Structure 1
Amino acid sequence: MSLILVTGGVRSGKSRFAEELAQQASESVLYVATGEAWDGEMSARIERHRARRPASWGCVEVGGRLDESLPACSGYDVVLVDCLSTWVSNRLMSVSEEEWRSEAITREVLTDAQEWLAAVAAGSSPGQTVIAVTSEVGLGGVAMNRLGRWFADVLGDVNQMAARQADTVYAVLAGIPWRIKG
C-alpha cells in the first residue's frame, strides 16, 4: 500500500488536485470525508466537494477516529481522505474550552493518527493507494488564540508523521502542485 500526502494552504487547490490524482489512478475510489456541517458555510463547502466527485466513487464519513473508515476501504484501489486538517479541527472543536491544550487530548489525537498511519502501512489490500489531504500550518504566523495555537501544534505533528511515512508528498500552491518527496 502506498501513501500520498497532498498539503497546501486553505483554498490552494489541494483537494481538487488529490481528486485528479485519484481519478487518474483508478475508477475504484473511496472518498473518506472528515468534514462536519458545523454551520451553513461548511454545509455549502461539503456540497461543493460532493458535486465535484464522480457519482461512481464510494463515500464514507468519519467523525472521531480515522481508523473507523478502514473496514470500508477494502475492495477499493484508491482511498482519498479529505482531509486530515478538518479531522484534527473536528476533534479539537469537540473539546470544552477548559480542556484546550490538554496533554491527554493531544496524546489521544496523535495516537489516533499514529494508529491510522500504522494501519495504512500494514494495508490489507496490496497495490492500494491512499491519498491524504491536509492543510499546511507551518507557513503562517502564530495564531492569536489558544485554540488556534493548539490546532497548529497538533496538526503540525500529524502532518509531520504523515509526511515521514508517505511515499510521495505534494505541496499545492495557487493550484499548482509541486512534488516535494518521492
Structure 2
Amino acid sequence: MSLILVTGGVRSGKSRFAEELAEKTSQSVLYVATGEAWDEEMTARIALHQARRPASWGCVEVGGRLTATIASAAGYEVVLIDCLSTWVSNRLMGVPEQELRSEAITREVLRDAQEWLETIKAARQKQTVIAVTSEVGLGGVALSRLGRWFADVLGDVNQMTARQADAVYAVLSGIPWRIKG
C-alpha cells in the first residue's frame, strides 16, 4: 500500500493534480467524495468534480467516519479521497456553538483520522491511496472561533497524514512540487 498526500491552498489545482495522478496510476479508481451539497455553490463545485472524473471510476460518498470507506475500496487499485479538509469541516459544522473547541470532539475526529491511517497501512493490499487536503498553515488566523478550531484540527490531521505518507505533494497555482518521498 502506498499513501500519497496532495496539499495546497483553495483553488490551487490540488484536486485536478490528484485526479491526474490517479488516472496515470491505474484505470481502477475509487473516488471517495467528502463534499456535501449544503448550498447552490457547493452543488456546483460537486458537479464540476463529477464532470472531470472518468465515468469508469467508482464513487462512494463519506459522511462520518473515513474507515467506513475501507470496505468499498476492495478491488480497486487506487483510492482517491477528496478531501480531508472537507471531511474535517463536515465533522465540525454540526457542532452546537456552545460546544465549539470541545476537547472530546477534537479527540474523536483525530482518533477517526488515526484509525483510518492505521487501517489503510494494515490492509497490505497493492493499493495506492491518494488523499487531498487543504493547507491551512499558510494563511492568517481565522476570525471566528469555528474557523480557528477547524484550522487546529485540520492542521493535526494533515500532519498525521503527512508523517504516514510515502509521498507528499504541495500544489501552488496548479504546479505540483514533490516535498516528500
- Tell me the TM-score range normalised by the shorter chain: over 0.9
Q: Map residues 69-108 of structure 1 onto 2, 5 A cutoff.
A: 69-108=69-108
Give the aligned residue type for 2:59.
Answer: C
Q: Map residues 54-69 of structure 1 onto 2, 5 A cutoff.
A: 54-69=54-69
1:18 aligned counterpart, secondary structure: helix
The percentage of aligned residue pairs carrying the same residue is 80
What is the TM-score when the length of structure 2 is the normalising length?
0.99
Mapped partners of 2:14, 2:97: distance in 1: 31
Q: Indicate the residue corresponding to 2:50 in structure 1.
A: 50
1:177 aligned counterpart, secondary structure: strand
Mapped partners of 1:151, 1:138: distance in 2: 11
Q: Map residues 24-173 of structure 1 onto 2, 5 A cutoff.
A: 24-125=24-125, 127-173=126-172
Q: Runs (4+) of structure 1 moved beyond 2 Å?
A: none
Give the aligned residue type for 2:162.
Answer: A
Give the aligned residue type for 2:133.
Answer: T
Give the aligned residue type for 2:137.
Answer: G
Q: Which 5+ residue runs of structure 1 have no aligned equivalent?
A: none
Give the aligned residue type for 1:147.
Answer: L
| Alignment deviations for residues 48-104 of structure 1 (CA, whole Å, 9 cap, x no partner) | 000000000000000010011010000000000000000000000011111100000
Mapped partners of 1:58, 1:84: distance in 2: 19
1:153 aligned counterpart, secondary structure: helix
Q: What's the CA shift for 1:10?
A: 0.2
Give the aligned residue type for 1:130.
Answer: V
1:179 matches 2:178: yes
1:18 matches 2:27: no
Name the count of aligned residue pairs.
181
Give the aligned residue type for 2:69.
Answer: S
Pairwise CA RMSD of aligned residues? 0.5
2:70 aligned counterpart, secondary structure: helix
What is the TM-score when the length of structure 1 is the normalising length?
0.99
1:158 aligned counterpart, secondary structure: helix
Give the aligned residue type for 1:137.
Answer: V
Mapped partners of 2:176, 2:128: distance in 1: 18
